[in-house]
A and B are shown apart, each in its own frame.
Chain A
Amino acid sequence: MGRYFAIRIGRAALTIVLVVTFAFIVLRLSGDPALMILGPEAPPEVLAAFRKAWGLDDPIWAQYFDYFGAIAKGELGRSMRDGRPAIELVLERIPATLALTLPAFFFKVALGIPAGTYAALHRGSGIDRAVMMTAVAGFTVPSFVLALLLVLVFAVQLGWLPSGGQDSWRHAILPIATLSLGGAAVLARFTRSAMLEVLGQPYIRTASAKGVPWRKVVTSHALPNAAIPTVTILGFMVGTLIAGAVVVESVFAWPGVGRLLVVAVANRDLAVVQCILLLVAMTMVTSNLIVDFLYGFLDPRLRSKGAHA
């Protein structure tokens, strides 16, 4: 068990290093921050001074080692736009993002899992078909289209809700709805297929043949088995809590981490982008670790495999 997790933690650390490295290289090869921030009309000596000040003249490997040296000291760099520490800029945006993604996560689970389970238990029924049609629509429609559709109906036509901004809780309804519907659709489909797979297993028939009432067959025999694949998707969703709302935040002008990322990328504000990516990679990797741990908890077969590995 201990080694199972040691290996996974090692892999997780490697993943973070690779993500950060990749981001570092791509950002530096894809545009000059000095030009982006100061504008093409800036005098050459100003541009040169800017590059020198931010160390952009150094060879890329030297910048890379400086960057990792700084990270080791807990220093994540400063924004090239206003000179504030990048981490500060990012951290102050996180509550706004979580204000959308946490309720959305709750609705995804609260809608998606029961809908998928119900559909699987009533396979082929009208409700099953309705749930699956909604689900297919929910995850094939891109979130920006869904967002615009909701704005069109509830903000423009009906005038019930504001179309953007962050002034009151009412402003959060449409972004949360957009995020929830897509995620619930994915979860519903996934839960349904996991449940159907499990319901077709011989041990379900064994439980029925023992005289276990159907309701209990579902709750104590089918659901614990169907939870194993479903946890994978849930883990992925937890991983997107920080930066899963880039598109939705942009559509609804919601000042969260996602918006900050879009602006920072456009400006090649290197430290800010890297800081966000580091944070995203860390939440992703952490949620994956939690999923791995949950697998061991949910599936005794993995637990003993881990013990022998």
Chain B
Amino acid sequence: MKPLVSIEDLRVAFGGVPVLRGVDIALQKGEAVGLVGESGSGKSVTWLAALGLLPRHAQVSGSVRLDGRQILGAPANELDHVRGGRIAMIFQDPASALNPVLTIRRQLCEALALHRDLQGNAVKAEARRLLDLVGIPDAGRRLEAYPHEFSGGQVQRIMIAMALAGNPDLLIADEPTTALDATIQAQILELLSTVRRELGMAMVLISHDLGVVAENCDRVAVMYAGRIVEQAPSNQLFADPVHPYAQGLIGALPPLDGPRRRLTAIPGTVPDPAHMPGGCAFAPRCALVADACGLAAPTLAPIADDRSVACVQAEASRRAVLGIAAE
């Protein structure tokens, strides 16, 4: 099947310091993909770069195709149709993501006017419908309110409504619940799942919370130091992570069932992007490091149907996991 979006060898550098070092990922229509990794691993930058939302001094190269059409470096007017109209994005901190001096109606109707062929009263009716859809009560009256008159969770709902305004094929949710309380977090994720199912929209859920991703996504990509190191269907990744970094992340999660075990931590810290080790970026923290790891950065290679991993020790790593599991 032809992918909706395919990103190939996407690289981003700020002032000569590489932060994305060749990202490859493809998305099918209607699919929910989780993007996990520590802060600074390049999860957000990948999509900001794809949509041309990075500051001008960022150096971006590679390829981002939407329905086979190159959008990286596309002219501004073409990108304006993609943004919001084909690919919408919501952000981490809802409180500062809406313009404080404009009413919700103006900000919502602006998106509708840009991407939908609606006139006059139809725009307002649609805005009201969207607010209803995302669960803002008393939508008609609330349209005239300003962002500061809503709670954080409500603002994130409004952001979702705004993202849906253009009927996008893909929603990038960049840590949409990080700034919210745990209960609100669950409601927002529930809302995202519901609208995604109803509208048949694809979604990328960027998160450092593995639990959130496991529950909401079909497939997960793990990022480390500006690269994707492992890609797998969610259930497989959580049951059987191959990349030592993915193993480390999952080992750090308390299991809900089975015997109690000691949680493991990944030793060391993420390398400074200005001083990346040659070869595999994870090698200095890896328990399975071998001579080959220092030679060249491993590329993402398939290890099974719809699974791929970037690790020269993948086989050894897999055995190690099974060994631990057998203990």
Once the chains are docked, how many angstroms separate the CA of A202 from the CA of B159? 12
> Are B97's CB and A299's CB within 8 A?
no
Query: With contacts A205-B53, A210-B111, A212-B114 known, is A225 near B81, CB below 8 A?
Result: no
Q: In the assembled complex, which residues on chain B have CB atoms less than 8 Å from the CB atom of A301? A: 100, 146, 148
**Nearest chain-A residue to B166 (Cβ)?**
A211
Q: In the assembled complex, which residues on chain A have CB atoms less than 8 Å from the CB atom of B20? A: none
> Are A211's CB and B159's CB within 8 A?
no
> Are B84's CB and A210's CB within 8 A?
yes
Asked if B76 CB lies within 8 Å of chain A CBs, one says: yes
Query: With contacts A213-B76, A304-B149 known, is A207 near B99, CB below 8 A?
Result: yes
Chain A nearest Cβ from B140, distance in angstroms: 19
Q: In the assembled complex, which residues on chain B have CB atoms less than 8 Å from the CB atom of A300? A: 100-101, 103, 146, 148
**Nearest chain-A residue to B113 (Cβ)?**
A212
Q: In the assembled complex, which residues on chain B have CB atoms less than 8 Å from the CB atom of A209? A: 51, 53, 83-84, 88-89, 91
> Are B110's CB and A210's CB within 8 A?
yes
Asked if B115 CB lies within 8 Å of chain A CBs, one says: yes
Q: In the assembled complex, which residues on chain A have CB atoms less than 8 Å from the CB atom of B96? A: 201-203
Chain A nearest Cβ from B74, distance in angstroms: 13
Asked if B82 CB lies within 8 Å of chain A CBs, one says: yes
Once the chains are docked, how many angstroms separate the CA of A124 from the CA of B56? 11
**Nearest chain-B residue to A227 (Cβ)?**
B101
Once the chains are docked, how many angstroms separate the CA of A236 from the CA of B81? 43
Chain B nearest Cβ from A200, distance in angstroms: 9
**Nearest chain-B residue to A209 (Cβ)?**
B89
Chain A nearest Cβ from B45, distance in angstroms: 13
Asked if B80 CB lies within 8 Å of chain A CBs, one says: yes
Q: In the assembled complex, which residues on chain A have CB atoms less than 8 Å from the CB atom of B31? A: none
Q: In the assembled complex, which residues on chain B have CB atoms less than 8 Å from the CB atom of A205? A: 48, 53, 91, 97
Per-residue CB contact flags for chain A residues 174-215 toward chain B (1 = under 8 Å, else 0) read 000000000000000000000000000111011111111110
Query: With contacts A202-B96, A304-B148 known, is A211 near B53, CB below 8 A?
Result: no
Q: In the assembled complex, which residues on chain A have CB atoms less than 8 Å from the CB atom of B8? A: none
Chain B nearest Cβ from A195, distance in angstroms: 14
Per-residue CB contact flags for chain B residues 56-89 toward chain A (1 = under 8 Å, else 0) read 0100000000000000000011011111110011
Contact of A203 among B51, B79, B81, B100 (CB under 8 A): B100
**Nearest chain-A residue to B84 (Cβ)?**
A211
Per-residue CB contact flags for chain A residues 232-275 toward chain B (1 = under 8 Å, else 0) read 00000000000000000000000000000000000000000000
Once the chains are docked, how many angstroms separate the CA of A214 from the CA of B53? 11
> Are A208's CB and B101's CB within 8 A?
no
Contact of A298 among B51, B101, B115 (CB under 8 A): B101
> Are B51's CB and A225's CB within 8 A?
no
Asked if B33 CB lies within 8 Å of chain A CBs, one says: no
Once the chains are docked, how many angstroms separate the CA of A244 from the CA of B111? 46
Known contacts A202-B93, A205-B48, A211-B166; 18 additional CB pairs below 8 A are A202-B97, A203-B96, A203-B97, A203-B98, A203-B99, A203-B100, A209-B51, A210-B83, A210-B88, A210-B110, A211-B84, A212-B110, A213-B76, A220-B110, A225-B101, A228-B101, A301-B146, A304-B146
A: which residues have CB within 8 A of B? 124, 201-203, 205-214, 220-221, 224-225, 228, 298-301, 304
B: which residues have CB within 8 A of A? 48, 51, 53, 57, 76-77, 79-85, 88-89, 91, 93, 96-103, 110-111, 114-115, 146, 148-149, 159, 162, 165-166
24 contacting pairs across A/B (C-beta < 8 A): A202-B91, A203-B96, A203-B97, A203-B98, A206-B97, A207-B110, A210-B88, A210-B110, A210-B114, A210-B162, A210-B165, A211-B79, A211-B81, A211-B83, A211-B114, A212-B80, A212-B84, A212-B110, A221-B102, A224-B102, A299-B101, A300-B146, A300-B148, A304-B149
